[in-house]
Chains A and B, each alone.
Chain A
Amino acid sequence: MLKILQNIDRRWVFLSMLLAVAIPVLAKTVFPVNISPQTMMVFNAIEDLPEGSRILLSYDFDPASQGELLPMAQAFTRHCSIKGHKQYYMALWPLGPPMVDLSIDTIESEYPNLVYGEDYMKFDYKTGGEAVIRMITQDLRGMFELDSKGVSLDEIPMTKNIKNIQDMDLIINVSAGDPGTKQWVQFAATPFGITTVSGCTGVQAPQMYPYIPEQLAGVLGAIKAAAEYEAAIDEVYPSIASNPKAQEAKRRMGPQLVAHSLMIGLIILGNIIFFVSRKRGLA
Chain B
Amino acid sequence: MKRTVPLIIAIIAGFVLLIANFIPYAEGWGLKAQEWFNILAVGAMILGGGNLVKLHLIKISGQRKGWGYSAVTIGCFVGTLIFGLFKIGVHPNEIYPNVGWSGYYLEGGSGLWWIYQHMIVPLTSMMFAMLAFYVATAAFRAFRAKNTEATLLLVTAGVVLLGQTYAGVWLFEGWLPESMQWLRFDHLTEWVMNIPNTGGTRAITIGIALGVVATSLRILLGVDRSYLGQD
A binds B: yes
Is B128 within 8 A of A67, CB to CB?
Answer: yes
Judge whether A259 is part of the interface by a CB distance below 8 angstroms. yes
How many residues does chain A have at the interface if contact means C-beta atoms less than 8 Å apart?
63
Docked Cα-Cα span, A193 to B183, in Å, equals 37
How many A-B pairs with Cβ below 8 Å? Answer: 153
Is A210 within 8 A of B205, CB to CB?
Answer: yes
Chain B residue nearest in CB terms to A191: B21
Most buried by B among A138, A148, A222, A269: A138
Q: In terms of DSSP, what is the predominant structure of the interface of chain B?
A: helix
Least CB distance, B185 to chain A, in whole angstroms: 11
Judge whether B95 is part of the interface by a CB distance below 8 angstroms. yes
Contact of A149 among B31, B93, B133, B136 (CB under 8 A): B93
Contact of B161 among A36, A66, A205, A264 (CB under 8 A): A264
Is A128 within 8 A of B162, CB to CB?
Answer: no
Docked Cα-Cα span, A17 to B30, in Å, equals 51
Is B35 within 8 A of A142, CB to CB?
Answer: yes
Q: Chain B contact residues (Cβ within 8 angstroms of A): what range?
A: 35 or more
Q: With A38-B190, A209-B197, A209-B198 as known contacts, state yes or no: A267 contacts B140, CB within 8 Å.
A: yes
List residues of B (90-147) whose CB comes within 8 Å of A's CBs.
Answer: 93-96, 102, 104, 106, 116, 120-121, 124-125, 127-129, 132-133, 135-137, 139-145
Judge whether B180 is part of the interface by a CB distance below 8 angstroms. no
Kindly specify which of A44-52, A71-79, A95-103 makes contact with the partner chain: A95-103
Chain B residue nearest in CB terms to A151: B95
List residues of A (224-283) whose CB comes within 8 Å of B's CBs.
Answer: 224, 253, 256-257, 259-264, 266-267, 269-271, 274
Contact of B167 among A10, A21, A127, A260 (CB under 8 A): A260
Docked Cα-Cα span, A44 to B35, in Å, equals 37
Is B27 within 8 A of A224, CB to CB?
Answer: no
Contact of B34 among A13, A135, A221, A256 (CB under 8 A): A135
Contacts of B201 in A (CB 8 A): 206-207, 209-210
Most buried by B among A34, A148, A269: A34
Contact of B162 among A13, A21, A101, A264 (CB under 8 A): A264
Least CB distance, A156 to chain B, in whole angstroms: 12
Contacts of A151 in B (CB 8 A): 95
Is A267 within 8 A of B164, CB to CB?
Answer: no
Contacts of A97 in B (CB 8 A): 106
Least CB distance, B146 to chain A, in whole angstroms: 8
Is A257 within 8 A of B167, CB to CB?
Answer: yes
Most buried by A among B144, B165, B167, B202: B165
Least CB distance, B87 to chain A, in whole angstroms: 13
Is A270 within 8 A of B198, CB to CB?
Answer: no
Judge whether A112 is part of the interface by a CB distance below 8 angstroms. no
Docked Cα-Cα span, A221 to B198, in Å, equals 14
Chain A 16-55, CB within 8 Å of chain B: the 1/0 string? Answer: 1110010000000001111011100000000000000000
Chain B residue nearest in CB terms to A256: B165
List residues of B (1-35) whose CB comes within 8 Å of A's CBs.
Answer: 27, 30-31, 34-35
Least CB distance, B183 to chain A, in whole angstroms: 15
Docked Cα-Cα span, A19 to B132, in Å, equals 12
Judge whether A62 is part of the interface by a CB distance below 8 angstroms. yes
Docked Cα-Cα span, A267 to B28, in Å, equals 57
Residues of B near any A CB (own CB < 8 A): 27, 30-31, 34-35, 37-38, 41-42, 45, 93-96, 102, 104, 106, 116, 120-121, 124-125, 127-129, 132-133, 135-137, 139-145, 154, 157-158, 161-162, 164-167, 169-170, 186, 190, 193-194, 197-198, 201-202, 205
Between A and B, 7 residue pairs with Cβ closer than 8 Å are A36-B186, A95-B120, A142-B31, A253-B166, A261-B162, A267-B139, A269-B140
Residues of A near any B CB (own CB < 8 A): 8, 10, 13-14, 16-18, 21, 31-34, 36-38, 62-67, 95, 97-98, 101, 126-128, 131-132, 134-135, 138-139, 142, 148-151, 202, 205-207, 209-210, 221-222, 224, 253, 256-257, 259-264, 266-267, 269-271, 274
Q: Which 3 residue pairs of A and B lie closest in terms of their CB atoms, listed nearest first?
A: A31-B166, A257-B165, A64-B124
Given contacts A67-B125, A261-B167, A263-B136, could you give 6 more A-B pairs where the C-beta distance is less than 8 Å?
A: A64-B127, A65-B128, A207-B205, A209-B198, A267-B140, A271-B144
